[in-house]
Each structure stands twice: as structure tokens, then as C-alpha cells.
Amino acid sequence: MENKKDLKILSMTLILGFASGLPLALSSGTLQAWLTIEGVDLKTLGWLSLVGLPYTYKFVWAPVIDRYRLPFNLAGRRRGWMVFFLLGMAFLLLLISQTNPKEEFGILHIAALALLLAFFSASFDVVFDAWRAESLSKRLLGLGAAWSVIGYRVAMLTSGGLALMLADFYLGFDGVYKLLALICLVLSILAFFSPEPKKTNTPPTLMKAVVEPFKEFFSRNGAVTVLITIIMYKFGDAFTASLSTAFLIRGAGFSPAEVGAVSKGAGLIAILIGGLLGGLILTKFSLLKCLLFFGILQAITNLGFLWLASYEANITSMAIVIILENLAGGMGTAAFVALLM
């Protein structure tokens, strides 16, 4: 690094990467654990997994965010959107913490708030990716990507494993959501002081921002096949993950703290190792072979949950299932990302 400016940008990349990863579990695994403890039925929990759809479909409104800036424009184009979305997430987390799922329409209120939280979080990811691409010089792109991933993973551990342990032992789930709302507020202040990129590429018209990228993609040979592969490749894994927390707490009888330590803690480490292994294997074999092998591996390791359901589960058996499932998931994600590049 040549100067303090590079260090400041990299430090903000780490912080904003943390901000990017923090809300994910709060509209999925951690929320699922809370509602499971409150006695919400599995059918409702299954439907609630749909609140994560904004992460999948953020590409639909990403060009609009890229095209327009906020009217008041107090913090710059990229920075202004990041501050706006972080403040929105802090407010939504506070509202969720004050909602009782046992009250009439309580689940509907939580579902609506969680959907908005996922929308704001996915939109923040769009702006953060643009900010990172425009702020980092070419020689710092690789290092910046690594720092943002580190921040993202630490945030997932915080809002996943650590949050479950704090909820079980000290604060309760409402207290955890209040604490994380405060953290989001602090992150919004830090984002306000992040450097605004000097040059931002603004599409001249909404047509160029929204319509033309889709036209260009579908004009390519095999575009529909690639799109179907992208949608379906992680489909089964996503369905398994959608109710895994509820199963481990209610079906297998583990406490939120145990799930937090093993499923979210050791599981996260296994995902990272799986990603590294997948990357190494991709250097030796073709992408198609890796996609097939990793896909089959993901399907096989998902059967571990059947083992937990069929026999008396303990911490060791849960750890084995979670680690193997996340190792395979990390390898599959590595191949999936390679497909997207």
C-alpha cells in the first residue's frame, strides 16, 4: 500500500463488507430460531423462507439504483444510498424487536418487516459492490475483495452464531435484535464518512440502465440454458437450508446456543474451507465436471439431516452432518461463482 488513502479505502471495504453480511441471518436463520422457540408451526416457517427472495432477484432493480441518486444527495451518490439503506435496516430491526409473534397478525408483521429488511440488505449489496469497484484501484481489487469477504463472514458469524448464543444466555431474541439495530446505526455513521468514489459510471437513460443489459444477455448463445442452470444449481441446497435451524432446534432438540456454536460457527469455517478446496479442484478439472461432482456431493451430504432425524442426535453427530454439508456447499458455491464469472 502506497499511502494512507489506500489503507482508509481498504478499512472501509472491511467495515462495509461487515455491513453487507450482518442482516442476512436476521431475516433467515436467526429469525427462524426465534420463531421456532415461540412455537410457530413448520408450514409457516417454510413460507417465511420466501422473505429471502430479494437477495436472488436484486438484479431486477439494481440498474435503477445504479441510474438514480437520492433527491437530497447529502452524502454523494454511492455513499448516500449506503447510508440510507443502513438507516432503514436499523429501523426495521428495531421494529422487529418490538413485535410479538404470538400476538394476532404478529407473524404477518414480522414477515413484512423481514421482507423489507432483505430488500434493503440486498439493495445495500448492490451499492456496496459498485462503491468497491469504483473506489479500489486495479492493484487493490484482489486485496479489497478479500477484505470484504472477511468482513462479510465475520458479520454472518456475529448475526448467526453469536446472536443465537446471546439470545439463549443473556439478552433474549428481542434484545439481540435491538443490539444489532444499534450496530447498524453505528455502521451507517461510518458509511457516511467513507470516501465517495471520484468517478461513477452513470447510465444516461433508464433504457440503457435496465433494458439494454437484459437484451444483451439474452442475445448470447445458450443464455436460457445458463439462466436455468444458475436458478436451479443451488435450489435443493437452499431448500434444505431454509428449515435447517428449525429442524435442529425443534426436531433434533438442540438449544439455540448449541445450534449457534456448531451450525453457525463450525459450519461457517467449513464453508470457507470448502470454498478453498473447491477453488483448488477447479484448477485441476473442467468447470462442467466440477459442477456435476459438487452438485452430487451437495445432494448426498443433505441426507445427513435424515440421519439426525432417524437416530438420537447429539452434538457430535450434528457437528459431523453440519461440517460435511457445509464443506460440500462451499465447494459447490466456488463452482457456481466460477460459472457466473
Q: What is the pLDDT of residues 261-298, one digit of tens each?
A: 887 778 888 888 888 888 888 888 888 888 889 888 98
Query: Is residue 194 predicted with pLDDT exceeding 60?
Result: yes
- What percentage of the chain reaches a pLDDT higher than 70? 92
- Is 112's pLDDT higher than 90? yes
Which whole number is the average pLDDT over 145-163? 85
Lowest mean pLDDT among 117-126, 198-207, 325-334: 198-207
Identify the pLDDT of residue 19: 94
For the chain, how far is it from start to end, CA to CA, in angstroms?
27
Residue 277 grid cell: 478446496
| pLDDT above 90 for 135 | no
Would you state the pLDDT for residue 210?
Answer: 66
> Mean pLDDT, to the nearest integer, of 87-100?
94
Q: Which of 56, 34, 33, 187 is nearest to 119 (CA)?
A: 56
pLDDT-based confidence at 314, cuts 50/70/90? confident
Q: pLDDT tens across 220-265, in order?
A: 777 778 777 777 776 666 666 777 888 888 777 788 888 888 877 7
Taking a C-beta distance cutoff of 8 angstroms, is the pair 163, 30 a contact? Answer: yes
Mean pLDDT: which of 43-52, 171-180, 324-333 is highest? Answer: 171-180
Report CA Rg, the chain: 20
Mean pLDDT (whole number) for 95-110 = 88
pTM above threshold 0.85: no
User: Positive or negative, the Cα torsion across 80, 81, 87, 88?
Assistant: positive
Residue 1 above 60 pLDDT?
no
Q: Closest by alpha carbon to 201, among 63, 11, 82?
A: 63
- pLDDT tens digits, 209-220: 667 777 777 787
| CA angle at 330 for the pair 179 and 224, rounded to the nearest 5° | 105
- pLDDT of residue 3 exceeding 90, the answer is no
In angstroms, the CA 156 to CA 135 distance is 24
Domain boundaries, the chain: 1-217, 220-341
Distances (CA, A) of 240 to 131, 244, 287, 298, 314: 33, 6, 24, 10, 20
At 308 the pLDDT is: 84
Across 18-41, average pLDDT? 89
pLDDT at 43: 83
Span 127-135, mean pLDDT?
87
Residues in Cβ contact with 238 at an 8 Å cutoff, skipping those fewer than 6 apart: none
Q: What pLDDT score does 258 carry? A: 85
Residue 234: its pLDDT value, please?
Answer: 66
* Opening angle at CA 232, ends 229 and 237, nearest 5: 130
Answer whether residue 198 shows pLDDT above 80. Answer: no
- Alpha carbon distance 260, 245 (integer Å): 9
Nearest to 10 by CA among 153, 126, 151: 151
Question: pLDDT per residue over 54-89, tens digit each?
Answer: 887 887 888 888 877 787 766 677 888 999 999 999
Cell of 338: 466460477
**What's the confidence (pLDDT) of residue 202?**
62
* Of 282, 8, 22, the residue nearest 136 (C-alpha): 8
The pLDDT, as a whole number, for residue 59 is 79
Least confident of 24-38, 139-153, 154-168, 267-281: 139-153
Residue 50 pLDDT: 84
Residue 114 predicted with pLDDT over 90: yes
Q: Do 82 and 128 touch, CB atoms closer than 8 A?
A: yes
Q: Residue 187: what pLDDT?
A: 95
* Dihedral sign, Cα of residue 200, residue 204, residue 209, residue 212: negative
pLDDT above 70: residue 203: no
CB-CB contact of 101 with 107 (8 Å) = yes
Question: 1-217: what fold?
Answer: Growth Hormone; Chain: A; (1.20.1250)
